[in-house]
């Protein structure tokens, strides 16, 4: 499917989260790790990366957004045409976790349920002694809203690649599901239903 | 002084700027000195007149033809000539299109096209709407040259494009949203057709679509950019005014991570501003996008030089806002609307160009909503700056200077100096006054003290003690005698 016409299918991924939670570091770490990808020469706000998942591959287009509070009201402009969103919070800041929930509400206002793959990411596990948000809290919130969930450390490069591969896998699965439905001639379009069952937790 | 005379040099009388028709609005050279509304009326009249004339000509020709037919049969030749002239006028548009396609794509139809070309050359084109600019011609040529390399697909695309342009000609009175929709549909149809029927590789489809967009938008630009039916122009003026009112915003208020004192950085900032202003001069949405991308790259460079690390979105957006505020790009809203309406949608929602365009939209939205809180100012300060009562720059002349010319810098230095002098003078005046008061107080104090003492111990001149003086009363005059003559009294 994606490879049928040569170039892998592009997917747009928006990085959301308040300032200083490590959105950019997460993306930069991910893109840097892959020696095949071309490093951005000047800015690290927009990246593209081809994710190879064995059977198929896809092209992730990562859009970084400004996280400062004052830009919150205009950030919905970034959402247009997005396929996935990464909600990043800092595990040492309760406030950033609450902000992430706000972002989710914004996303839900903009998209019908299930249209975008959303993943909640608790960053900075290297600072776990200052932790303010427990793993369980994050997981529970993710489950109740059918989000993917992981905790990472961009600094120590812990589980960063896994975040993006999990996201890519979910994206591909949804495309395949849609295609299968289309092939079956399923006229009762159920494309907009949320992901099946509870969210898969990839952290443990 | 020189500034004043310079200003006089380019002075244009208010009346010269106004619409020639005297409706009170400003005129524009592009509209022959009319305002947009009057020009449209004028233009409409001219067109109506043209149509009228065409009809009259047609009728006259018909009459002549009938007369000729009635008078004799042997003037067949002349009659057919006049008739063909009329026919030629009517079908001119169509034949030209068809023949040019044929002309470029097939050598076999040479004979036919030659005839059509002669007809075309004979046909006068006095109406205004046939004035095609040099640029349009050049783009058309390039488009045809480009499509030639795609043989059959190219021919197909050319045909579709021509049909679309013709259809758009009749849709000119529709709302801009409908026209935009038609264009978007057209993009999608052509793309799908190439992919499914022509089996063209995606990269090549993209390339062709870029050229298609360039060709059609160069032609449609003047009808669909900032059309009179929308309030785009009003929005342009509103944002322009808003940016002007915000002239006092400093990089520090927006937390712009750019240090313009580094010459390289200030160079990048200037380039970024130039790029964003240049956007207005482009006709094709994609070229406008390219300007935004170029501007963004310069911003990233400026941040990178200042911070010594690649910029993230947290740095980029504030800087872009700052650049827009400094540049105040012309017709900003019209450009954004035009790109949104007529750019190939896949380019706006994804891809690097789309990312930077989205950021520009965010920047504009931010500027529109900007308030005291978003600049970390108190409401009073914000209001005072907005009303122009004071400027934060007066206090921060150091941070402001990099972008100013030498004269302005000098002026600010002088202003600074003057205010310092003023302060010092005031201080001296105050001290002088204090000294004066002190002096008065001191004299008063002394006088009072003296008074007190005098009151406390009044001066009483007692009468001389007679009994004491009586001891040697006979010698009363002795004191007045010089010493050697003083009588010596010896007790013994």
Residue B193 touches chain A, beta carbons under 8 Å: no
Does B365 sit within 8 Å of A61, measured CB to CB? no
At B475, the pLDDT band (50, 70, 90 cuts) reads low
> A64 contacts in B (CB within 8 Å)?
312-313
Cα–Cα distance measured from residue B355 to residue B324, given in angstroms and rounded to the nearest whole number: 16
Choose the mutation target among A47, A74, A83, A86 for the interface with B, i.e. most B CBs under 10 Å: A74
At the fourth CATH level, the homologous superfamily of domain A9-186 is: P-loop containing nucleotide triphosphate hydrolases (3.40.50.300)
DSSP symbols for B268-299: HHHHHHHHHHHGGG--SHHHHHHHHHHHHHHH
Q: Domain coordinates of chain A in residue numbers?
A: 9-186
Give the span between the Cα atoms of B214 and B344, in whole angstroms.
11
CA proximity to B210, closest of B258, B142, B275, B265: B142
A88 to chain B, minimum CA–CA distance in Å?
14
Span B65-92, pLDDT tens digits: 677 666 655 544 444 444 444 444 444 4
Mean pLDDT of the B12-25 span: 73
Residue with the two structure tokens 């800092």: A90
Mutate to test the interface with B, among A17, A70, A73 (most CBs of B within 10 A): A70
Among B301, B314, B355, whose Cβ lies nearest the Cβ of A46?
B355
* Least CB–CB distance from A68: residue in B314, B352, B356: B314
**H/E element holding A11?**
strand A9-16
The answer to whether B211 and B303 are in contact (CB under 8 A) is no
Residues B430 and B424: their CA atoms lie apart, in Å, by: 10
Which residue from B202, B203, B358 is facing A77, i.e. has the nearest CB?
B358
Query: pLDDT digits over A66-122, tens only?
Result: 988 889 888 889 998 899 999 999 999 999 999 999 999 999 998 988 889 999 999
Mean pLDDT of chain B: 79
CB proximity under 8 Å: B 321-340 to A:
none
Which two three-digit tokens encode residue B313?
A: 């979105």
What is the chain A residue with the closest CA to B362?
Answer: A74
Are B374 and A70 inside 8 Å of each other by CB?
yes
Residue A2 has pLDDT above 80, yes or no: no
pLDDT-wise least confident of B158-162, B166-170, B459-463, B480-484: B480-484
Q: pLDDT confidence of B121, banded at 50, 70, 90?
A: very low
Contact between chains at B313 and A68 (C-beta distance less than 8 A): no
Which range, of B50-59, B329-338, B407-416, B482-491, averages the lowest pLDDT? Answer: B482-491
pLDDT of residue A144: 94
Q: Which two tokens stand for residue B50?
A: 């043209």
pTM of the model: 0.66
Instruction: State the count of interchain CB pairs (< 8 A) between A and B.
Output: 91
The verdict on a CB contact (< 8 Å) between A6 and B202 is yes
Closest residue of chain A to B364, computed from CA coordinates: A74
Which has the minimum average pLDDT: B258-262, B323-327, B483-487?
B483-487
Q: CB distance B312–A75 less than 8 Å? A: no
In the beta sheet, which residues pair with residue A64?
Answer: A15
**Best B199, B311, B314, B368 residue to mutate vs chain A (most A CBs within 10 Å):** B314
Return the residue in A45, A49, A71 with the most chain B beta carbons within 10 A, the one to mutate for interface testing: A45
């Amino acid at each position: 499917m994606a490879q049928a016409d040569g170039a892998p299918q592009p997917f747009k991924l928006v990085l959301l989260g308040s300032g200083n939670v490590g959105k950019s570091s997460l993306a930069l770490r991910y893109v840097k790790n892959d020696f095949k990808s071309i490093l951005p020469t000047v800015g690290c706000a927009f990246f593209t990366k081809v994710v190879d998942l064995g059977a198929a591959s896809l092209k992730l287009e990562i859009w970084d957004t400004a996280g400062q509070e004052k830009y919150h009201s205009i950030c919905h402009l970034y959402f247009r045409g997005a396929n996935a969103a990464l909600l990043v919070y800092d595990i040492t800041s309760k406030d950033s976790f609450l902000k992430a929930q706000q972002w989710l509400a914004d996303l839900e206002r903009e998209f019908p349920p299930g249209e975008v793959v959303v993943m909640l990411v608790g960053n900075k596990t290297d600072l776990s002694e200052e932790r303010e948000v427990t793993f369980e809290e994050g997981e529970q919130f993710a489950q109740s809203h059918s989000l993917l969930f992981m905790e990472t450390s961009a600094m120590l490069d812990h589980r960063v690649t896994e975040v993006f591969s999990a996201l890519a896998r979910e994206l591909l699965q949804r495309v395949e599901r849609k295609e299968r439905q289309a092939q079956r001639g399923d006229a009762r379009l159920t494309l907009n239903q949320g992901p099946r069952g509870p969210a898969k937790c990839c952290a443990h | 002084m020189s500034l004043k005379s310079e200003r006089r040099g380019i002075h244009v009388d208010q009346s010269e700027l106004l619409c020639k028709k005297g409706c009170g609005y400003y005129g524009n050279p592009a509209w022959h000195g009319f305002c947009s509304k009057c020009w449209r009326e004028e233009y409409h009249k001219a067109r109506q007149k043209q149509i009228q004339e065409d009809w009259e000509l047609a009728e006259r020709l018909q009459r002549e033809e009938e007369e000729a037919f009635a008078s004799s049969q042997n003037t067949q030749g002349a009659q057919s000539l006049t008739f063909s002239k009329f026919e030629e006028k009517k079908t001119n548009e169509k034949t030209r299109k068809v023949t040019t396609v044929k002309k470029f794509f097939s050598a076999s139809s040479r004979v036919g096209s030659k005839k059509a070309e002669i007809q075309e050359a004979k046909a006068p084109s006095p109406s205004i709407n046939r004035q095609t600019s040099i640029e349009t011609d050049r783009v058309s040529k390039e488009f045809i040259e480009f499509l030639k390399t795609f043989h059959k697909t190219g021919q197909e695309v050319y045909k579709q494009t021509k049909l679309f342009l013709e259809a758009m000609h009749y849709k000119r009175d529709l709302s801009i949203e409908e026209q935009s929709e038609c264009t978007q549909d057209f993009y999608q149809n052509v793309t799908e057709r190439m992919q499914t029927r022509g089996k063209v590789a995606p990269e090549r489809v993209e390339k062709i679509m870029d050229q298609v967009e360039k060709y059609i938008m160069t032609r449609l630009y003047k009808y669909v950019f900032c059309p009179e039916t929308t309030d785009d122009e009003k929005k342009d003026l509103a944002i322009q005014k808003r940016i002007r009112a915000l002239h006092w915003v400093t990089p520090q208020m927006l937390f712009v991570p750019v240090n313009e004192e580094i010459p390289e950085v200030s160079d990048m900032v200037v380039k970024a501003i130039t790029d964003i202003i240049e956007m207005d001069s482009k006709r094709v949405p994609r070229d406008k996008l390219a300007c935004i991308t170029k501007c963004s790259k310069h911003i990233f460079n400026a941040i990178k030089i200042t911070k010594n690390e690649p910029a993230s979105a947290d740095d980029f957006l504030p800087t872009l806002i700052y650049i827009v505020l400094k540049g105040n790009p012309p017709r900003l809203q019209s450009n954004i609307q035009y790109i949104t309406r007529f750019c190939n949608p896949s380019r706006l929602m994804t891809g690097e160009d789309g990312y930077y365009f989205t950021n520009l939209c965010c920047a504009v939205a931010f500027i529109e909503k900007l308030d005291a809180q978003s600049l970390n100012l108190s409401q009073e300060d914000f209001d005072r700056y907005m009303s122009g009562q004071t400027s934060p720059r007066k206090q921060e002349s150091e941070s402001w200077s990099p972008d100013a010319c030498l004269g302005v810098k000098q002026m600010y230095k002088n202003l600074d100096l003057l205010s310092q002098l003023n302060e010092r003078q005031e201080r001296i005046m105050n001290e002088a006054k204090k000294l004066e008061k002190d002096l008065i107080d001191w004299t008063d104090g002394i006088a009072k003290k003296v008074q007190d003492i005098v009151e406390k111990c009044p001066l009483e001149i007692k009468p001389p003690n007679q009994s004491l003086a009586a001891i040697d009363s006979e010698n009363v005059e002795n004191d007045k005698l010089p010493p050697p003559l003083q009588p010596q009294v010896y007790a013994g």
